[in-house]
Amino acid sequence: MKACAFCKQEFSSLTREHIMPKSLTDRKQRERGGEKPSRYTSKADKFIGGELTIGDVCRNCNNGPLSELDSYFLQLYDRYIYKFASPEKRIDFTYDFDKLARWLLKVSYNSARATNAPDEVLLESYSKYILGEDVRPKGLNIFLTLVLPYKIKNSEKHDPRIQDVDEIEPDVLRWSRVPDERLAKEGVTFRMVQINSYFFIVIMPNQVTYEARKWYAELKGFRKKYPQFRQLRAKDGVSRTPLKSSGVDMVNNYEIFPSANLSRIFELID
Ligand SMILES: [Zn+2]
């Protein structure tokens, strides 16, 4: 008997859950004319095509609440995320905070188990919330920034891989833990998920030692350090946050969140 990573019930056999839902990778593949999307894993430290799965989820969770979350995110994808951001355009981003947060946490928890990340146990403690069976964790915050395509400078054209392209689009599926040793030690969840231009940060305090005042100060520091991010509204039901580009592009975004260098970004080009 094996226990499901989400509901903890024991089953004789478990099913495979995609870390990034197959519906989403299929959608991106179709948009790219059949080519597999690149994905980034911090463990492999490179962009590779293909799909990652993890085989420790029961059928009930996989086909029930987790698949409902995937459907919800796919709606957001079809409404907003499929389109790369442009410097001029303003977007009225409308979302259900909890469904979005639960989906981002699901991807993060799946990824943490697949790579034995140090925050696996922490993320596991939110599995009931991910399933929709627990209240929203205290101090849970989602931040979002739009990543623009990177315009290639003439001085960079000597690189044979980019001689014939003018810009690098944020054609990306990318997720990882944001390494911050101080916050990690305090049990703070700090994760990023990027799909195309939409770069999400999930940050929330240790639920056991949570103190509202201390956490507000922490968030204030976060906003100061990352002014390009908008904070999403943590309320029930539908929220709306106007988004516009803050000038972050594919390259300087990697400089802010270093986990790949410029030459690896160039590998994304068809
Ligand atoms: Zn289950």
Q: What per-residue confidence (pLDDT) applies to 34?
A: 62
In angstroms, the first-to-last Cα distance of the chain is 45
Tokens linked to 5: 């990573």
Distance 54 CA to ligand 1 centre (A): 13
User: Pairing mode, if any, of strands 230-231 and 141-146?
Assistant: antiparallel
At residue 109, φ and ψ (nearest 5 deg) are: -65, -45
- The structure tokens 């101080």 sit at 182
Q: Which residues contact 166 (CB under 8 A, 6 or more apart)?
A: 151, 152
**pLDDT band for position 262 (cuts 50, 70, 90):** very low
User: How does pLDDT run across 74-83, given as a tens digit for each residue?
Assistant: 999 999 999 9
Distance 127 CA to ligand 1 centre (A): 10
Q: What per-residue confidence (pLDDT) applies to 35?
A: 60
Using an 8 Å Cβ cutoff, are 129 and 70 in contact? no
User: Pairing mode, if any, of strands 189-195 and 53-57?
Assistant: unpaired
d(CA 64, CA 20): 16
Q: HSE-up of 92 (CA within 13 Å, CB side)?
A: 3
At residue 110, φ and ψ (nearest 5 deg) are: -60, -45
Distance 131 CA to ligand 1 centre (A): 9
Query: In the predicted model, what is the mean pLDDT of residues 67-87?
Result: 96
User: How does pLDDT run across 13-31, given as a tens digit for each residue?
Assistant: 999 999 889 888 888 878 8
Tokens linked to 14: 């478990």
Distance 130 CA to ligand 1 centre (A): 11
Q: Which residues contact 175 (CB under 8 A, 6 or more apart)?
A: 19, 20, 40, 107, 108, 111, 191, 192, 193, 194
Query: In the predicted model, what is the mean pLDDT of residues 31-53?
Result: 54
Q: What per-residue confidence (pLDDT) applies to 47?
A: 39
Say whether 217 sits in a helix, a strand or coil. helix
d(CA 3, CA 199): 32
Q: What per-residue confidence (pLDDT) applies to 258?
A: 59
Distance 200 CA to ligand 1 centre (A): 26
CA distances from 213 to 138, 189, 207, 239, 250 (A): 12, 18, 14, 24, 35
Report DSSP state, residue 9: -
Where exactly are the structural domains of the chain? 2-266
Average pLDDT of the chain to the nearest whole number: 86
Using an 8 Å Cβ cutoff, are 243 and 83 in contact? no
User: How does pLDDT run across 91-126, given as a tens digit for each residue?
Assistant: 999 999 999 999 999 999 999 999 899 999 999 999
pLDDT above 70 for 259:
no
- The structure tokens 């056999």 sit at 13
Distance 108 CA to ligand 1 centre (A): 17
Ligand 1 is an ion; its neighbours by CB within 5 Å are 4, 6-7, 58, 61
d(CA 182, CA 221): 13
Query: In the predicted model, what is the mean pLDDT of residues 231-245?
Result: 93
Distance 69 CA to ligand 1 centre (A): 14
d(CA 250, CA 228): 14
pLDDT above 80 for 164:
no
**pLDDT band for position 46 (cuts 50, 70, 90):** very low
Q: What per-residue confidence (pLDDT) applies to 31?
A: 80
Q: What per-residue confidence (pLDDT) applies to 57?
A: 97
Query: In the predicted model, what is the mean pLDDT of residues 223-235?
Result: 92
pLDDT above 70 for 43:
no
Using an 8 Å Cβ cutoff, are 9 and 50 in contact? no
